[in-house]
Structure 1
Amino acid sequence: MTTHPSEPVDPVADLSALLGELAGDHQGASPAAAAPAGDEPVYRNVEAFVGDYLAHVVERRIASGPTSGINWCPRWWAHPEAISRLYALWRAWETLRVSDPQTGMSIWWRDHLDPHLTALAAEYGPFSRCGPDKHTDTSPLPIEPAPPEVLAQLPDADGV
Structure 2
Amino acid sequence: MSDLSGERWQAEVDSRLARLELWADEAELADAVVGASQSTAGGGGTDYPDLDSWVADYMCATFSRPLGGEFRWCSKWREHREAVVRLDALWCSWKALSRDPSLGLSTWLHNFLDPQLIVLLSSRGTFSGCSSERNEPGAALCSRDALDHLLRTPVCPIVRPVN
TM above 0.5, yes or no, is: yes
- Distance, in Å, in 2 between the alignment partners of 1:20 and 1:123 is 28
What percentage of aligned pairs have identical amino acids?
32
Q: Counterpart of 1:93?
A: 94
8 A contact 1:92–1:108 mirrored in 2? yes
8 A contact 1:74–1:134 mirrored in 2? no
Quick check: which has more Rg, 1 or 2? 2
> 1:123: Cα distance to partner?
3.0
Q: Counterpart of 1:69?
A: 70
Alignment of 1:103-142 (within 5 A): 103-142=103-142
- Distance, in Å, in 2 between the alignment partners of 1:110 and 1:21 is 14
- Distance, in Å, in 1 between the alignment partners of 2:66 and 2:88 is 23
> 1:131: Cα distance to partner?
1.4
- Distance, in Å, in 2 between the alignment partners of 1:70 and 1:20 is 23
8 A contact 2:42–2:98 mirrored in 1? no
> 1:83: Cα distance to partner?
0.3
Q: Counterpart of 2:43?
A: 22
Q: Counterpart of 1:28?
A: none
* Count of matched residue pairs: 113
User: Residue type matched to 2:82 in 1?
Assistant: E
Q: Counterpart of 2:64?
A: 59
The structure carrying a bigger helix percent of its residues is: 2
- 1:105/1:133 CA distance change after superposition, 3 Å: farther
Q: Counterpart of 2:152?
A: 147
Q: TM-score, normalising length from structure 2?
A: 0.61
Q: TM-score, normalising length from structure 1?
A: 0.62
User: Residue type matched to 1:144 in 2?
Assistant: L
User: Residue type matched to 1:44 in 2?
Assistant: P
User: Residue type matched to 1:121 in 2?
Assistant: L
User: Residue type matched to 2:40 in 1?
Assistant: L
User: Residue type matched to 1:51 in 2?
Assistant: A
- Distance, in Å, in 2 between the alignment partners of 1:125 and 1:21 is 26
Q: Which runs of 5+ in 2 are unaligned?
A: 1-36, 156-163
> 1:147: Cα distance to partner?
3.3
